[in-house]
Structure 1
Amino acid sequence: MARQEPFGDRLSDQGHHCEARGEAFVSNFGIFARRFALIVAAVLALAPLLSTPSHAAAKIQHLISPGGIEAWFVQDSTVPLIAMEYAFGGGATQDPADKAGVGNMVADTLDEGSGDLDSNTFHERLDRRAIELSFSSARDSFRGSLRMLKDNKDEAFDLLRMSLTSPHFDSADVERIRSQVISNLKRDTTNPSALAGRKFLEMAYGDHPYGRQANGTLESVPKIQIADLKDYVRRVLAKDTLKIAVVGDIDPASLGALLDKTFGGLPAKASLTPVPDIDAAKPPERAFIPLDVPQTVVTFGGPGLMRHDPNFMAAYVVNHILGGGGLSSRLYHEVREKRGLAYSVYESLLWMDHSALFVGNTGTRADRAGETVDAINKEIRKIAEDGPTQTELDEAKSYLKGSQMLALDTSSKLASALLQYQLDKLPIDYIEKRNAIVDAVTLDDVRKAAQRLWGQGLLTVIVGRAPQAAAQPAAATPPPTAKN
């Protein structure tokens, strides 16, 4: 069964990956962004867990199997568990333009029977051994997760091997999964967060693959054929883009043999459709979607900074001050505590292989939507023009260096973090350097980053009851009609 990806992106999640079946980055953008922010915080907080260079070097190994399969590996015998996270390049960007959701359907059907096992028998084998196996199609990668007891590792890796190399895609299973996906998509048509996320991506990216829904649409999913699923597997699941992270009670030699057995039979090279780099649409721009729901949802954002940008850490720190710091953030203080406009408000940096965003979300009463948007815009203009204070910077740096230590308290969470480092193309010793990079961020750095992020204004999507003149963009009001 597919799982909800964290980011996204992300984001998402990205919650974003909230996706009940599919990617929250598109269909449940608000949840994805929140989860993505937590994952990013966990990844950036990895260094405090591995506090000294010698300990970090001893913990994380760059393993190369006899067959040449590479993995980042942490041998941990604290508990008899093994967790593996892995990803192939491509993801939802490899869906055909007119068939959004193919990767998501593949993720949902890979474990529905493979090799000589039908769907029921396959899942019985998983359940009998308490093996957790899942797949998901993120924006730029097709991901998988495997978790098992040490004694069940041979069977667990073999079931994964069969899923990747000989999936059945039986018609009855595909149609059952298709019905579930369509049901979720229909539910999203009345979900204000899903509608806001979808519209936001359309505004930001238009016809680019990032502007499409990763879990598909009510128009595209019915058109997906079994041949499309098989073609996706053939093109995307290959060794040259494979990234692996493993944490658990296994020795390097045994792990290397299992990696060769599991992934060695895959094609050597993927056949990916090139995806162009793109900048998100330039703010300001606003859209209003009328929907009769009790609470109006506001999603806002704009172009962000790529992970490899030299100013990324400064942007990450200042974003924490503005909207990523929970109860301590400026947006929370202004929107929730000072004005009582919303229960929560947050903002996250989301980066992908070919673009980057900052994205925020809140919910408020319909009659206060306009006031909420104005308050957010005012606070964003303020930090873009003046930057944060030295006290805010010092507190944010202290938090980012020392917090979220419990976020990596399981093998699965640590494996996810190590996979994200690889996807972000960071060196294996980054955890030794990360706190020094945070410390090196200056007040001038964060002021420049704030201007880059928020100096142009916002892309804003408002979903709620209409008419709300304060919440609708001026362009949405038709000109008066002359009377004869």
Structure 2
Amino acid sequence: MTALRWMALALGLALVAARAEAVEVKEVTTPLGIKAWLVEDSNAPVVALSFSFASGSADDPENQKGLTSLTASLLTDGAGSLDAQAFKQRQEDASVALSFGASLEYVGGSLRLLSAHRDEAFELLRLAVTEPRFDPDRVEQRRAQMIVGLSQADQRPAAVAQRTMMATAFAGHPYGANVSGVRENLQTLTVQQIKDRAASVLTRNGLIVAAVGDIDAAELSRQLDRAFGGLPAGTGRPELPDWTPPIKSRTVNIERPVPQSSVLIALPAIPRDDPDWHAAVVLAHILGGGQQSRLFREVREKRGLAYSVSSALRSQRKASLFVVATGSASEKVADSLRIIKAELVRIREGVTEQELADARTYLSGSLALLLDSSSSVANLLHTLQVDRQPRDYLDRRAALIGAVKAEDVRRVARRILREETMTTVVVGKPAGATATAEP
């Protein structure tokens, strides 16, 4: 483990140790109007930054799928006068870790640095976002890597199940891009298209920043204006279309010659700002949130039908899904699905007070245990901003979870867990299943 990672871990553990106390999240506004959330902590000389630009792969034009992901992957492959190798060496010399990636709705980045190297770290960030090179040889290398990665994912049932679920649940919507189309588009993307996409994405409008560590508000303000101040203001992302949830159940079976099948069940859920959101979080935990959950007990522990089983909420700006995931020996898939669907029906009738109390305790106390580094804390603060939550949300979360009643869980279960809206994807070779063409 590098010195930087040890320092980051030490800072994260210090923050966890202080979790009983309220964490002060400051809002910093720079002279150029860039806003950021900041948690100051000088216990270790480390700073972690998590940030994003408000446009992602769902915004790719129809004949340019993969463009945003390819563009993001190239942002640290040389900038300004530094080619890819020189840029990488500068990061290593200063113990700086800078990375970018694209999701459906954002191009995100992370920066980790020793506070003694702040100037060098933020200068590298400035170069990456304002002067990326997009050298043709690096474009070709990244393009090839992405195509190989997509082809390798074709051999992993879980990855095929995930992409098929998205393509099926979001058919006709930008969230459901077809992977084969991405591969074809990647072959034809030009350097100019990549440069144009970078210019449209990398703007100050919609920029979200979270910082944690050994830096005060004045210094963070100076460094943010230095790194991002040269970007154009921008006009904001185009609004994605609304999603129309499915109104009938669908099952997609994709044959793969593997002993273990991957299964996903997706149901339209509720948006992040819905008053029932925390009841839905409790529901997901009681149903499939760990070894005490109903699904784990009924599917794995009692009957040995699956290697893993879980349920979780997945939220995007235009849609939210409640997803049950399991991996089962192919000959046991039918029985696993039967038990899972029976549990989805049964939980609609309600949960016990003991289940509710256990879920409240776990969800209220477990979050701090996940924040084991400065980077994880910064990522959480960034996610809260993306989700448009208030700065004091971490102080209020336990009370919000604690206020959930059994009737709230029953109500949200009846809202979400409806068989007529269910999308089921099975990838493998389950007994009795007929292969279905992939979307």
Length-normalised TM-score, structure 1:
0.84
Change (3 A) 1:329 1:215: farther
Residues 48/285 of structure 1: CA separation in 2 closer, same or farther (3 Å cut)? farther
Q: Which residue of the other structure, out of 311, 336, 358, is the alignment partner of 1:372? A: 336
* Residue equivalent to 2:254: 289
Taking every aligned residue pair, what percent have the same amino acid on both sides?
38
Residue 37 (structure 1) aligns with: none
Deviation at 1:48, TM superposition (A): 10
Deviation, structure 1 residue 270: 3.8
Q: Counterparts of 1:396 and 1:205 in 2: how far apart (Å)?
A: 31
Q: TM-score, normalised by structure 2?
A: 0.92
1:13-412 mapped onto 2 (5 Å cutoff)? 50-52=19-21, 55-56=22-23, 59-212=24-177, 217-324=182-289, 326-384=290-348, 386-412=349-375
Instruction: Name which of 399, 405, 409 aligns with 1:442.
Output: 405
- Runs of 5+ unmatched residues, structure 2: 1-11
Distance 1:428 1:144 in 2: 21
Summarize the Cα distance change of 1:363–1:290 in structure 2 as closer, same or farther, 3 Å threshold: same
Q: Does structure 2 conserve the Cα–Cα contact (< 8 Å) formed by 1:100 and 1:215? A: no
Which of structures 1 and 2 has the larger relative contact order (alpha carbons within 8 angstroms, sep 6+)?
2
State how far apart, in whole Å, the 2-side matches of 1:462 and 1:131 are: 42
Output one character per residue of 1:71-116: Cα deviation in whole Å (capped at 9) or x when no partner: 1001111110000000111111121112211111011101111111
Show structure 1 runs of 4+ deviating over 3 A: 46-52, 213-216
Counterpart residue type for residue 437 of structure 1 = L
Q: Partners in 1 of 2:322 and 2:48 — Cα distance? A: 31
Aligned partners of 2:199 and 2:37: how far apart in 1? 25
Matched-pair contact (CA < 8 Å) for 2:38–2:211 = yes
Size of the alignment, in residue pairs? 423
Paired residue type of 2:147: I
Spell out, residue by residue over 1:415-439, the C-alpha distance to the aligned partner (whole angstroms, 9 max, x if none): 0010011000011112222222112
Stretches of structure 1 that go unaligned for 5 or more consecutive residues are: 1-41, 477-484
Q: CA deviation at 1:215?
A: 10
The one-letter amino acid of 1:397's match is: R
- Preserved CA contact (<8 Å) 1:235 1:270: no
Structure 2 letter corresponding to 1:442: K
Q: 3-state DSSP class of the match of 1:335?
A: helix
Check conservation: 2:143, 2:186, Cα contact below 8 A.
Answer: yes
Following superposition, the deviation at residue 49 of structure 1 comes to: 5.8
Q: CA deviation at 1:360?
A: 2.1
- Is the Cα contact below 8 Å between 1:335 and 1:345 reproduced in 2? yes
Q: Verify the 8 A CA contact 1:315 1:450 in the aligned structure 2.
A: yes
Alignment root-mean-square deviation, CA: 2.0
Q: How far off is 1:345 after superposition?
A: 0.6
Instruction: Kindly state the Cα deviation for residue 122 of structure 1 after the two structures are TM-superposed.
Output: 0.5
Give 3-state SS (helix, strand or coil) of 2:63's partner: coil
Q: How far, CA to CA, are the matches of 1:298 and 1:192 in structure 2?
A: 9
Which amino acid in 1 is paired with 2:383? Q
Do the aligned partners of 1:139 and 1:214 also contact (CA within 8 Å) in 2?
A: no
Give, in whole Å, the separation in 2 of the partners of 1:48 and 1:77.
14
CA distance, structure 1, for counterparts of residue 86 and residue 281 of structure 2: 47
Query: Which whole-Å CA distance do the structure 2 matches of 1:223 and 1:388 have between them?
Result: 53
